[in-house]
Every structure is written in structure tokens, then in C-alpha cells.
Chains A and B, each alone.
Chain A
Amino acid sequence: MNAFTELLNGFATAAHPTNLLYAFLGVLLGTAIGVLPGIGPAMTIALLLPLTYSLEPTQAFIMFAGIYYGGMYGGSTTSILLNTPGESASVVTAIEGNKMARRGRAAAALATAAIGSFVAGTIGTLGLALLAPAVVKLAIKMGAPDYFAVMVLAFIAVTTVLGSSKVRGLAALAIGLLIGLIGIDPTSGQQRLTLGIPELADGIDVVVVAVGLFAVGEALWIAAHLRRTPAEIIPVGAARMNREDWRRSWKPWLRGTVIGFPFGAIPAGGAEIPTFLSYVTEKKLTKHPEEFGKGAIEGVAGPEATNNASAAGGLVPLLTLGIPTTATAAVMLGAFQGYGIQPGPRLLQTQPELVWGLVASLFIGNAILLALNLPLAPMWAKLLRIPRPYLYAGILFFASIGAYAANLSTFDLWLLLVLGGLGFAMRRYGLPVVPAIIGIILGPTAEEQMRRALQISDGEVSGLYNTWFSKAVYVVILLVLVVPPLVGWIRNRRRPKDNDVLQHAEKTGD
């Protein structure tokens, strides 16, 4: 069966009325939670995970599809109406988006973001549907050394790309790997780093980790620095664009999609670089260069489309290789594992209904998102006015339910507090949270693949790089390590002005 018929079957699954309802609920909740200040897409998924505990896997993932896109769109609404964005992928959107809003063009900014997200999300999902089977064909031939190399690439990319300090990124990754080691070693059956506590033998539940580091850590951090004067929110009507806006937006949407999708699909560290690339491209190609820096619509349309296309692209390595490239994807992977499903090349054969149902739901969720968000923009804007004590009390309240409901044990609440404290300290001292999450979730699999590779090679270190694919990946890793500092050095010498924007973008890694 080819991808097209599979996809049609997926639509048949997703179009079932109950499943449609879950997709709709997912989009609605995802947007509503994602729009709240300080809550990024990864945290949205982590907080909403408990709602899916009692669902069948297929329905749960259909709901996730909605939450995924909804949470992302919610984040961009926040950054346009409030400026200072809570997640790194929306940083670039905020640059022009908030300026537009300040000039009274909030409705157009939100509309171009919503329609751009729809266009990019739809093309990106189509790309996912076409690319996934091809990647699976390649992935099925991949051996342990190849997997291990790709995971090393994911570790390196996420550590070097995010945040301004590489040492701190590496420290965060190491902390994550350490937490990932806690529990019984699957190969030898011995307990590692459990301190003799029986609850730790199974490892730490991924929901508890994600909710603790993201939700509790964030709530504690913000509580300790709560702004006493409320942030300024720009009022907005229903999101819409005029003919001129359309004319100026459609090309940036398509260019953004083209830039974003490949960056998401390779395991190389999230949406920061492509959104920035898109911003620079639009700035160069625009016929209205004078508007850039004062609220140019191209500067919202391009990066926002890029962001969504890269999110769709990120599902390719997640579903076909089981490798997450962003925090959001890592939480999704954790959710898969919670259902006893291991994403990887065999997933498409063993669970075709689930995978293609998920892909079809991404299309449907995207359409629901558009239909919902254009008219509902004023309502989302109202959510930004929620009194901050209630907002952060609510986050801690739902974080506690989520962590407790995972295993119905108070031990997880203690863990939640410890991890929340860790998340607080990481925010205080500039350790990015994303490498830690990737380390926790990917670390155990990486260890398994490394052991398998060395077992096959009988202990020879060359067993880690004796295939052409792994060799190629290590070359890429070398490039990732060497090229960005080199480019930064050249850019520093040539154009100090553009660098300001890049540095701004680097400041807000979450």
C-alpha cells in the first residue's frame, strides 16, 4: 500500500465523529492553555497529558495533534499581543508582530500568523506524509551505530544551538542524562542511582519530569520575580487581513514553509535558526524595507509559517526514528512510551492506524485551528488578562493533579517539588531546560543502541562508526560544532547590526 491510500485510511479513522470531537477539544484546549503567558507548547502538552490517560492510544494521539498545533498558535498570539515571548520559537514573530500590534494592526498580525500557520502546517503535514515512508525505508536498514550517531547529533545540536552559553547547555544535558539513568538498568537488571527507594526503580515518570521542569519550575521562577505592574496588552478585534496584507503575505508563507520543514526534519535543534533565517530572508526581499523594525507584515508571516512547518518537519524524525528534536517532540515521545508504543521504523507497520490517524488529524486540526482562531482572537486576548496569582496558582494546581494522577502516589509529588526546584535553579543560572528534557528521554535509548553496537563489534570502538551512514552523521556533527562559531565570527566582523537581532533571539531560550 502506498502512502496515499494509507493516508486516506487515516482520514477515515480521524473523521469518525468521536475522533473529530477529540481533535476539536485538543485544538481548543491547546490554544487556550498555550495562549496563557509563560506556557509554551511543551508545557501545554505536559499539563494536558493526564486528560488522555483513559483514552485509547489512537484517540489520545488525535487529541495530541490538536494540542500540538493549538499550543503553538497560542504561543504566537501571546508574543504578538504581549511582546516578550515565552518560548524561543516565537521570539522572531514577536519582533515585527508586536510592533504591528502597537500600530493598531494586531488583527492583521494575528490573521497572517493564523493563515500562515495553516498554509505551512498543511504543506508541512503533506511533506510528513510523503517523506515518512521514504525515511522508514532508509531507517529499516539503519543499525545500532547509525542510531547512536543520530542521537549524538541530536544531543550536540540541542546543546550548541540553544542558549548563549555552551558550557551551561552541556551541563543541562548532563543533568538530563543523569536523571535518565535513574532506575533499573534494562540489560543487567541492576538498580542505578535509585538510593534504595523502591519508587525510583522504574525510573521517573516522564509526565512528572516534564511537568516538574517546565510547569513547576516556571511557576516558581515567575513567582519569585512577579512583575508588580501588569504587562500592557493590546486590545484586538476579530483577526482579518485586507487585500494588501494578502498580497504581501502569501510569498513569505511559502518561503517560510520551505525554510522551516527541512530544518525541523533533520535532528538539529528546533525552530530558532530557521525562524531567524526566514526573518532575514524577508527583510532582504521585501519591497517595504522601511517598515522592518516598525511592524512589517512579512516579518510575521514568514517566521510564523517557518515555525509551523518546522514543527511538522519535527514529526518526521519523531515518528520514523523515535528521535525528538524539540522539547515538545520529547514530551510527545514520552507520551508515546507511556502507552507502551516505541516510535521508530516499525511503528508505521505495527500501528498504521495510529500513525496515519495522527497525520490525518494534523490536517483536520489545522483546519479547525484556522476556523476557530480568526473569529476567537478577541477571546484569546482576554485570556491574557487573567490575574497572575490565579494563573500561576492554577499551573501548580494542575501540575499537581497531573503528577499525582500518573501513578496515584504522593511520592511523585515530592519528586515534582524537587524537579521544580531544579527547574527554578536552571532558569536562575541560565541552564537551558530543553537539553535536559532531551537527555532524560533520549539518554536511555542512546545507551541501549551504544551497547548493542559495541556488542556486535565485540567491544571494538570502531563498532560505533563502521557504517557509511554513521560516518556521514559524525561529519555533520563536526560541521554543527565548527560552522556556527565561524559564521558568528564572520558576521561579527561584517555586519554588527544584524547581530543585535540574533542576540535578542538567543536570549530567550526556554
Chain B
Amino acid sequence: MSTPSTSVKQGRSELGVALLLLVLGGWAVVDALRLTEQQSPGPIDAKTIPLVVGGLLILTAVLLAIDVLRGGRGEQEAGEDVDLGHGSDWKTLGLLAAAFLANILLIDRLGWPISGAVLFFGTAFALGSRHLIRNAIISIVLSVGSWYLFNLALGIALPVGILKGIL
């Protein structure tokens, strides 16, 4: 499936998952211990279940680490459009995250009709579409169209931002 060196490297990142589980488990336990005991009726209180779940996370972290060290590997999800032949494409992911962040930062300032268009245009660009003019038109139609759909037909007020009075 892969050369020994990449397999070792992959093993290291699989151990990262175990570490993440461990950290999450630790967080649950620490958070639970800070809860006060009184004012909860019944024999088990607010901290019991977080402690159990934290323990479960720590247990799975240990079991997963053992599994990985014994050569077990997580099975990457396959799909219609997925090509597992190459590793993760971090450039595409970075661009996608940037477009997503742009929407988060712009939506309350400029409004959804603009931030949504930026989101769609940016993600389509990140995914390799280079029909810039066509994409820009689609983006604007989608974001303005969805704004009208939600505000007029569904009664959900998506932010209008700087286009207030125009739309």
C-alpha cells in the first residue's frame, strides 16, 4: 500500500489521534472536577457522566495507541469523487479555509449578499475552477438569490450589510 517510510510517518500522525483523544478526555475530567457537588438531587451529580466520558476517551486513546503501535491503521473514507492515491492537498484546504474565514469575518460587516458571493467564488477557485467571470456571476446570483429566498420566502433575516436600501 505504501512505502515503509510513509507508513511510519502515517503511524505517527495516527498517534496524534490518540493524543487528541487523551487531551479531550483530560479536559472532560478537569472540567468535571471543578464542578461543585451540592444542589444536585440524586446520588450521581453533574460530574459523574463527564468523568465517565473522560475516562472512556482516555481508555480509547490508550487502546488506539496500542492498535497503531501494533500496525493498525485507520481506514480513510472512500467516495465517488475521492482519489486516495495521493495525500491530502493542503493548498486546496488552505484556500478553502481562507474563503470560509472570509465569510465569517465579512458577513456582519458587508452582509450575506457579498460575503456569500466571496465564499462561493473563493471555494470554487480553491477547488480548481478557473472560469473567473462565469464563477463571479454564479456567485452573485446564488448569494443574492438565497438572501431573497431566506428574507422574503422563509422570513429569516440574513444580514443585508452595506447593500441596505439597495436590495
Contact = CB atoms under 8 A, between A and B. Distances in A.
Interface in A134-192: 163-165, 167-168, 170-171, 173-175, 177-178, 181, 185, 187-190, 192
Contacts of A121: none
B124 A175 contact: no
A190 B119 contact: no
B94 to A, nearest CB: 10
A187 B124 contact: no
Given A171-B60, A175-B24, A405-B150, A226 B81 contact: yes
Query: Majority SS of interface residues in chain A?
Result: helix
Contacts, number: 240
A404 interface: yes
Nearest to A231: B80
B72 A390 contact: no
B56 interface: yes
Among B54, B73, B82, B112, residue most surrounded by chain A Cβ atoms (within 10 Å): B82
Nearest to B129: A389
B151 to A, nearest CB: 11
B140 interface: no
Given A193-B31, A396-B100, A187 B154 contact: no
Given A171-B60, A174-B21, A174-B56, A192 B80 contact: no
B50 interface: yes
Contacts of B69: none
Contacts of B39: 188-189
Given A165-B72, A174-B57, A193-B27, A225 B82 contact: yes
A145 to B, nearest CB: 14
B163 interface: no
Contacts of B107: 404, 410, 413
B8 interface: no
Contact of B88 (A387, A393, A428): A428
Interface of A: 37-38, 50-51, 53-54, 78, 82-86, 163-165, 167-168, 170-171, 173-175, 177-178, 181, 185, 187-190, 192-193, 218-228, 231, 387-390, 392-394, 396-398, 400-401, 404-405, 408, 410, 413-414, 417, 425, 427-431, 443, 447, 450-452, 454-455, 458-459, 507-508, 510
Given A178-B28, A226-B92, A397 B142 contact: yes
Contacts of A400: 100, 103, 116, 119
Contact of A389 (B24, B41, B127, B143): B127
Interface of B: 13-14, 17, 20-21, 24-25, 27-28, 31-32, 35-36, 39-46, 49-50, 53-54, 56-57, 60-61, 63-64, 67, 72-84, 86, 88-90, 92-93, 96-97, 99-101, 103-104, 107-108, 112, 116, 119-120, 123-129, 138, 142-143, 146, 150, 154-158
Contacts of B17: 171, 425, 429, 431
Given A84-B78, A390-B129, A392-B123, 14 more contacts: A54-B155, A165-B72, A174-B21, A193-B28, A225-B83, A227-B81, A392-B127, A396-B99, A408-B158, A425-B20, A427-B77, A430-B74, A507-B75, A510-B77
B63 A167 contact: yes
Among A83, A84, A174, A459, residue most surrounded by chain B Cβ atoms (within 10 Å): A174
Nearest to B55: A174
A305 B4 CA distance: 45
A189 B95 CA distance: 42
B42 A454 contact: yes
A392 B54 CA distance: 35
A294 to B, nearest CB: 22
B119 A397 contact: yes
B120 A50 contact: no
B40 to A, nearest CB: 4
B153 to A, nearest CB: 8
B6 to A, nearest CB: 14
A171 B21 contact: yes
